[in-house]
Structure 1
Amino acid sequence: MDVPDFFSEAALALHEQPTTEKTVELITQYAQIAAGSDEAGIMLVHSRARVETAASSSDRVIRSHDLQYELDEGPCLDALETGASFLVPDVETDARWVKWGPAVAELGIHSAMSVLLETRERRYGSLNLYSDAPGAFDGNDLATAQIFARHASIALANAHQEQGLLVAIDARKVIGQAQGILMERFDIDPDRSFEVLRRYSQNHNQKLHTVATWVVENRHRSVHEFPGDIGGVQTV
């Protein structure tokens, strides 16, 4: 493998992916090549209480992650908690994870590496690499995984940003459509139509996008079928 060419190709391919889901799937594929691993998986952090397997090369990778949640120990969780990278030459004999190691060895996984996926602004999760043989990874492999993880983290950040922008654009479009419907139905101006949506959103603890979506999806209903009454204007 020509290392510079590989990283260039991987970086370009990752940046071309249209969604976060596609990006993490491709990260696992390229990570296996970069580290020469048998398996790869990604844990993504959504909140303090929610970490999930976002991509995996097989069901046993998912199970190896699930075992960490169940046993509350493992290199992937420690990477997320401490910000460090972990090299595990032999999972079965590693004293750091006395419950997880033997359990994951029963799956046929015998060595592992976990490195962070993060930028300066955000920690996204961990990239986790596995091998069927003990002693499959060394310090050079860990360094390669860390370099690849930096490229992958940037691609993941871009995918999150682009997907967030698309969601925001879609939300604005839906809100605009809902405003047009209310303007036509109730003979009100744009400012008043937006105020109707905003006040209902606040009063009923619903997102503005959710309220606007209901209006658009129910635009063929009669005026009297629009529930609620805000400022003298019946709407959702």
Structure 2
Amino acid sequence: METDDQNEDFRRLHQLIAGAADLKGFLDGTVRYAAKVLTRATGARVECAVTLLRRKRAATIAGSSDDAILLDGIEQSLDDGPCMEAVRTGVPMVLADVSTDTRWPEYSGNLATAGAWSVLGVPLFLGKDASAGLNFFSDVTDNFSPEAVEEAVVFADMASQALRLALRIATADLLAQDLKAAMERRTVIDLASGVIMAQNRCSQKDAFAFLLEASQNRNQKLHDVAREMIQSFAGNTAEATTHFDD
């Protein structure tokens, strides 16, 4: 059964999608909120970062603080640690005490030097093309109890859903931008073809063939040749644009 806190977490994540200017803004807001959720669950300060694993290469894509980004980067530089293990296996991993846990000795040593004493890695499920994980850090040993891990897993599940939605929105925006750019280039080519048709009393097909031949001879992109032709015909400051309602 969902608790009031979990309902609030879900509502907050979707507010982040609506309020963020871009995907990076959403991710920054998510990790800051994730840190608050685990701080609430454990009673001790927790920092959080997001690790993205794609084509076997990992990268930190957001952090709740500079310390979180630094600590996450240590794990990636070693390609070894609880979060990397969680991302690869799909199972949450707890490093309860860096001074006694022997599974990741080099990583634990680096964390101790940086002042982090316990870590929790939780997978995010994004689909077949990429994997990610939430990496939680605490300066207290044994900070991530089974109850705190369960809270993190529930949050990660909600965050995965929200992140998949944010990615779809970002992808749709990019496709729209690509379409707009393509239509603007097409406008320039159509205008240049019209100029050629008027000057040479030829068909649109012949005008386009003329542009294409000029593009190949000059080793320039077709729309660049078309733009230069329009500017030459109408003046150097002339610019062809297409207007869209966003």
Whether TM exceeds 0.5 here: the answer is yes
Aligned length: 208
Normalised TM-score (structure 2):
0.73
Q: What is the aligned partner in structure 2 of residue 38 from structure 1?
A: 46
8 Å Cα contact 1:119/1:157 also seen in 2: yes
Q: What is the aligned partner in structure 2 of residue 98 from structure 1?
A: 105
Q: Look up the SS of the partner of 2:50 in the other structure.
A: strand
Distance change in 2, residues 1:58/1:212 (3 Å): farther
Q: Alignment identity in percent? A: 24
8 Å Cα contact 1:79/1:86 also seen in 2: yes
**Bigger Rg, structure 1 or 2:** 2
Say which structure is richer in helix: 2
Distance change in 2, residues 1:63/1:216 (3 Å): farther
Q: Look up the SS of the partner of 2:114 in the other structure.
A: coil
Q: Distance in 1 between matches of 2:228 and 2:98?
A: 57
Note the alpha carbon deviations across 1:175-217, whole angstroms, 9 max, x for none. Answer: 1111110111123859x97xx89xx8xxx9xxxxxx6886798
Identify which range, 146-155 or 120-129, moves more after superposition: 120-129
Amino acid at match of 1:71: L
Q: What is the aligned partner in structure 2 of residue 208 from structure 1?
A: none
Match of residue 9, structure 2, among 2, 7, 26: 7
Distance change in 2, residues 1:4/1:103 (3 Å): closer
Distance change in 2, residues 1:169/1:159 (3 Å): same
| Unpaired runs of at least 5, structure 1 | 205-210, 224-236
Identify which range, 172-181 or 73-82, moves more after superposition: 73-82
Q: Distance in 1 between matches of 2:48 and 2:126?
A: 20
Distance change in 2, residues 1:11/1:147 (3 Å): same
Q: What is the aligned partner in structure 1 of residue 31 from structure 2?
A: 28
Amino acid at match of 1:134: T
Note the alpha carbon deviations across 1:18-74, whole angstroms, 9 max, x for none. Answer: 4221111111111112111421111123x2243211111222222222222222311
Q: What is the aligned partner in structure 2 of residue 230 from structure 1?
A: none
Note the alpha carbon deviations across 1:78-97, whole angstroms, 9 max, x for none. Answer: 11222211112112321110
Structure 1 residue 134 displacement after superposition:
0.4
RMSD between aligned residues? 3.0
Match of residue 75, structure 2, among 60, 68, 78: 68
Identify which range, 56-65 or 159-168, moves more after superposition: 56-65
Note the alpha carbon deviations across 1:118-156, whole angstroms, 9 max, x for none. Answer: 145554411011111101110110110010011111111
| Unpaired runs of at least 5, structure 2 | 40-44, 198-203, 234-246
Q: Distance in 1 between matches of 2:8 and 2:99?
A: 33
Q: What is the aligned partner in structure 2 of residue 166 from structure 1?
A: 173
Q: What is the aligned partner in structure 1 of residue 164 from structure 2?
A: 157
Amino acid at match of 1:23: F
Q: Distance in 2 between matches of 1:217 and 1:88?
A: 60
Distance change in 2, residues 1:183/1:74 (3 Å): same
Write out aligned runs for 1:67-146 (5 A).
67-119=74-126, 123-146=130-153
Distance change in 2, residues 1:185/1:48 (3 Å): same
